[in-house]
Amino acid sequence: MKKINKVVIPAAGLGTRFLPASKVVPKELFTIVDQPILQINIDEAKEAGITEVILVVSPRKSSLADYFSDDPELESYLEERGQQDLLDKVKAITSQIRVTIVIQEEPKGLGHAILMAKAAVGDEPFAVMLPDDLVLHPVACLRQMMSVWQEHQLGCAAVRAVPEDRIHRYGVIKVERSHERIHYVNHLVEKPSAVEAPSNLAIVGRYLLPPQTFAILEQLNPGAIGEIQLTDALQGLAASEGFLAYEFEGDHFDAGDRLGFTVANVSYGLAHPEIGDELRQVLKELI
């Protein structure tokens, strides 16, 4: 059985929905309570047993690489003042996990971003996490999915049921058959209208993929706006060897959207052991 050890995190987007803040700070470093979005993803990867993160970035987002760099001056400052809890948080950023930076010179779609990681991944299965998608649950979404990979050794995407008026924002699966939370997929549609959608199960940004995904991506022709779509590669996997969807447990937040980002902050704040109770009281007073 082949184990998944690496995760690709595409982070080359410009974050235009958060301008002007994202002009200086990459949206992946925006905080949810007290943790950058990217760190929440990395912690989830660690929990799932991942040992290497491959971060795909644009040339103008050098601060993402800086985030993973050692900062002896800061560490000495915290140590001298006895702030061990903060020192541990700084050192934990990359502990037990390796980070590899890959440059995507220009945005050409999610499929192209993943293809940029081919050399770093090598000939082995891998995970993909879209950092905007956050799932709050005692058992990390990616960890839940690993049990599906261990049993079936097939590509898999995380899915959830979404309301009809939001289905057009997602890739949607057509289900051939299901067993509990696992769905066997025979077709995928990218951002269909509510009328055209083959189901209400939308893909959320978590994937487990076999290495042959790269060969499929290399053969795809760019679409009308010059982008290579991952959904087309997943369709190729479904047609050739089979593809699964896993209906995960947990609350999903789209932190790439202003409302989703705000709701994620409130939800993670309520779950925070230090401020949750006080925040709950404040919200009651405000509302």
Q: Where are the domains of the chain?
A: 6-286
Q: What's the mean pLDDT in 190-209?
A: 89
Tell me the H-state helices in the chain.
37-47, 62-67, 72-80, 84-91, 110-115, 118-121, 141-152, 213-219, 230-240, 258-271, 276-286
Select the more confidently predicted residue: 85 or 53.
Answer: 53
Least confident among 11-15, 118-122, 216-220, 243-247: 11-15
- Which residues make Cβ contacts (< 8 Å) with residue 126, sequence separation at least 6? 4, 6, 7, 8, 54, 117, 208, 209, 211
Dihedral class, residue 146 (left if φ above 0, else alpha if ψ from -120 to 50, else beta):
alpha
The CA angle 214-220-224, to the nearest 5 degrees, is 135
Is residue 45 scored above 80 in pLDDT?
yes
Residues 209, 206, 134, CA angle at the centre, nearest 5°? 165
Q: Which amino acid is at 150?
A: Q
Cβ atoms of residues 229 and 111 within 8 Å: yes
If we measure between CA atoms, which residue out of 44, 30, 21, 67 comes closest to residue 262? 30
- Dihedral angle of Cα 80, 86, 90, 92, to the nearest 10 degrees: 120
Mean pLDDT value of segment 229-233: 89
| Gap between the Cα atoms of 176 and 126, Å rounded | 25
- Supply the pLDDT for residue 224: 58
| pLDDT band, residue 16 (cuts 50/70/90) | confident
Q: Compute the radius of gyration of the chain from its Cα atoms.
A: 19
Question: With bands split at pLDDT 50, 70 and 90, how would you rate the model's confidence at 269?
Answer: very high
Q: Is the pLDDT of residue 61 over 80?
A: no
Whole-prediction pTM value? 0.91
The answer on pLDDT for 266 being more than 90 is yes
What is the residue-averaged pLDDT of the chain? 88
Please check the confidence at residue 253 and state whether its pLDDT lies above 80: yes
Structure tokens at 106: 């220009």
Candidates 3.90.1560.10, 3.40.50.300, 3.30.70.3450, 3.90.550.10; CATH matching 6-286: 3.90.550.10
User: What is the C-alpha separation between 50 and 72, in angstroms, rounded?
Assistant: 26
For residue 285, count CB atoms less than 10 angstroms from its CB and return exposed for 0-12, middle for 13-18, buried for 19 or more. exposed
